[in-house]
Amino acid sequence: MTRVFSHLAVFLGSFVLLFTGCQTQVPSQTTDSGYTAAKTQPAQTQWRGTTTSAPAVTATPKFQATPTKSSDVIFKSNQISVTKTILEPASVGGNLKYRISIKALDDVSTVRVTESMPNGVQFISSTPSAHRAGANAQWEFPSMRKGQTQTIDVTVKPTTEGDHQICSTVSVDNAFCLNIFSGQPKLAVVKKGPASIELGEVATWTVTVSNSGSAPATNVVVTDNLPDAFEATSKLSQNVGTVAPGETKTVSYSAKAVKQGNFTNRAVANYDGGPAVAGQSSAPIAVVQSSIRVRKTGPTEAYVFKPVSFDITIENTGDTDLQNVRITDILPKGTSVADNGKGRVSGDAIGWMIPNLPAGASQLIRTEVAATRKGSSTNKVKVVTENGLAASDEVTTNWLAVPGVTVSITDSKDPIRVREATTYTLQVKNQGDFEPVSGTVTVTFNDSIKPIAVAGSAQGTINGQTVTFPRTTLEPGKDTNLTITAEGAKIGPGRAIMNFSADFLSDPIISQETTNVY
């Protein structure tokens, strides 16, 4: 069995190294174990159009009973060195392990190693894994740098007694290179234009094309891809010729805005032999419509010398912010200002200025004015923005002369017993000679008197201790008579308070009647 170990170790050291594309003659190498790598005549190999010598090398053993000093088998060329070393010997049926070490003596391309297993030896495994083809195991390393090493650990199993030879074939791909340089244009596109534009106006964009590549771009065409919100007013596709490396060229485009909204305008550049889109740039733009509205509201009728409120509402109905909005309230002749709404009064006008009115925002201004003479007058307001937008509105008020009114309330019986009735007579008289009077009458009783019925020229309603009559209009010199029937509810002084309210009165006119209950 010792003879099996010895002979297997001896024949494992014999291998074949085949180098494809090497031009250097392979020297003989004698190992410490007495193995000699013998030269053979170089084979002629066709290599990238040039005929070169590719030496094939076979390691031939000098047979000895046992290896001397070590089991290493070494091959060395001007490109690589290869060493085979037994790591663990084995008898028939055992696992024998050996190592193949490859070292690059120069930068080399693909290195291939093929192990041919003889009859009587079974391949078991390897690290790294091998590609198997029949009795052969093959490894391939794409490239190796000078000084780099690769190691293959192989495990085999002898299956018969005797001498066995595991041969290695090693080849190296050599590259013969021609250095060339091919330039490539590289276009960059920058598009600039307005961020927003009013509907109906014309926008202008500039497109800059620059070449940061290593070759000129010929027949460069720049195309402006307009969104459907614009109608072109210039040619949309323009040829700028050749753009050399480091060169920049600029073109411009214009179009009319015909649709509101937010859009993106895209410019594309291409050149002969290049892609369909060699460079592109987009510019967002909003098509807007500025608008402003003003509304003036106030009473259609009012009484002279009595201040009444007028409202001015300014609304930004567009989609842009408005700057420096000026408001002017033009007052009719014979008007006095009671409250200028924090505006500036100048002659027959009040003025304001709003520095910024955002889109969709509104602002309310309230004034109080009074007329000094009877008749109809019109109050007009105007607004103008910094960019020239204008709007106006007006309201007409009929100013009435102040009438004279008297009111009274009297009871028919006083005093009365508890649950005994008395009738209150209410009178409102328009003492004026020119204007009708419209007003509302309410009567409130304390808890000693309880209202139970109403009558007269206007039908009132009882709600607890309060009686309310609907709004009544009295022509000049006319009056109205109303009655309320009430009964004593509790011993004590009963009071009935009458109120007359009208538009021309700042405060209601009050009349009071006392009825004693016992």
pLDDT in tens, 228-273: 999 999 999 999 999 999 999 999 999 999 999 999 999 999 999 9
Lowest mean pLDDT among 15-19, 42-46, 506-510: 42-46
CATH of domain 2-172: 2.60.40.1170
**Residue 66 has what pLDDT?**
32
Q: Do 2-172 and 292-400 share a fold?
A: yes
Residue 155 has pLDDT above 90, yes or no: yes
Lowest mean pLDDT among 38-52, 193-207, 229-243: 38-52
Q: Which of the four CATH numbers 3.40.710.10, 2.60.120.10, 3.40.50.300, 2.60.40.740 does domain 405-517 have?
A: 2.60.40.740
- Burial annotation 259-288 (CB, 10 A radius, 16+ → b, else e): eeeebebbbbbbbeebeeebbbbebebbbb
Q: Which of the four CATH numbers 2.60.40.10, 3.40.50.720, 1.10.3720.10, 3.40.1170.10 does domain 292-400 have?
A: 2.60.40.10
Residue 330 has pLDDT above 80, yes or no: yes
Place of tokens 């259609």: 300
CATH superfamily to which 187-288 belongs:
Immunoglobulins (2.60.40.10)
Nearest alpha-carbon partner for 191 in 175, 212, 207, 211: 207
**Residue 71 has what pLDDT?**
55
**Residue 478 has what pLDDT?**
87
Phi, psi of 7 (to 5 degrees): -65, -35
Nearest alpha-carbon partner for 352 in 320, 384, 377, 375: 384
Q: What is the mean pLDDT of residues 176-204?
A: 91
Q: What percent of the chain has pLDDT over 70?
A: 86
Q: Looking at this protein, which amino acid is placed at residue 54? A: A
**Residue 459 has what pLDDT?**
83
Residue 318 β-bridge partners: none
286 torsion bin: left (phi>0), alpha (psi -120 to 50), beta (else): beta
Residue 148 has pLDDT above 50, yes or no: yes
**Residue 5 has what pLDDT?**
39
Q: Measured between alpha carbons, how far is 395 from 297 in angstroms, rounded to an integer? A: 6
Contact 99, 84 (CB under 8 A): yes
pLDDT in tens, 398-414: 998 777 888 999 999 99
Q: What is the mean pLDDT of residues 357-375?
A: 93
Tokens of 65: 């009973």
Q: Measured between alpha carbons, how far is 466 from 443 in angstroms, rounded to an integer? A: 6
Confidence bin at 176 (pLDDT 50/70/90): confident
Alpha helices in 262-304 (DSSP H): none
Sorted by where each begins, the domain ranges of the chain are: 2-172, 187-288, 292-400, 405-517
Q: In 3-state terms, what secondary structure has residue 100? A: strand
Asked if residue 415 has a cis previous peptide bond (ω within 30° of 0), the answer is yes
